[in-house]
Amino acid sequence: MIILGIDPGSRKAGYALIDVQGKKISYIASGVLKYDHVDEFLERLGMIYQTCDELMNRYQPDEVSVEALIYVKSVDALSKLAQARGAMIAAFSRTRLGKIYEYAPNAVKSSVTGHGHADKDAINKAMTMMFGKLTFKTSDESDALAIAVCHALNRNMKLRLMGKTV
């Protein structure tokens, strides 16, 4: 089973793909989608949708895991993040409706490091311990990998809570 993990953002977003076979988790690919070169926010939303749709077509993941909204100080930043996340989920829903899952940032950190308030360095270290020497362009990329791993580790419990057959 291929899982796509997404660390959403309105200027850049991290993505990572893993393959889960039983208890074995293998790294496939990861990267950063950049949107900050598009000044007009509404145009950026279209680009966000398009790049996420292209990710789905390229890798054909079975399930998608997305980080839930985080607390930000600026209402404007939260609004833009929510809209960007909505564009992403809309793109994923075209082919994976019912196969999209979200995880709170603290749940992701706790799943991969054992501590819900772990910092970016701890997440990066946990991912390199799990998958070997990986070089991440930004913390968005390592966070996306952590989100995918969190889903792999918690999916059976999440599916049972949702009333779905495991």
The pairing of strands 63-67 and 12-21 is unpaired
Task: Quick: pLDDT tens for 99-145.
Answer: 999 999 999 999 999 888 888 889 999 999 999 988 888 999 999 99
pLDDT, position 15: 98
pLDDT, position 161: 57
Across the strands, what pairs with 34?
12
Q: Which fold has domain 2-161?
A: Nucleotidyltransferase; domain 5 (3.30.420)
Q: Which parts of the chain sit beneath pLDDT 50? A: none
**Percentages helix, strand, coil for the chain, rounded to the nearest 5?**
50, 20, 25
pTM of the model: 0.91
pLDDT, position 163: 61
Q: SS3 for 61?
A: coil
Please enumerate, by residue number, every residue annotated as part of a binding site for Mg(2+): 7, 67, 140
pLDDT, position 71: 72
| Catalytic residue ranges | 7, 67, 140
Q: 133 φ, ψ to 5°?
A: -65, 110
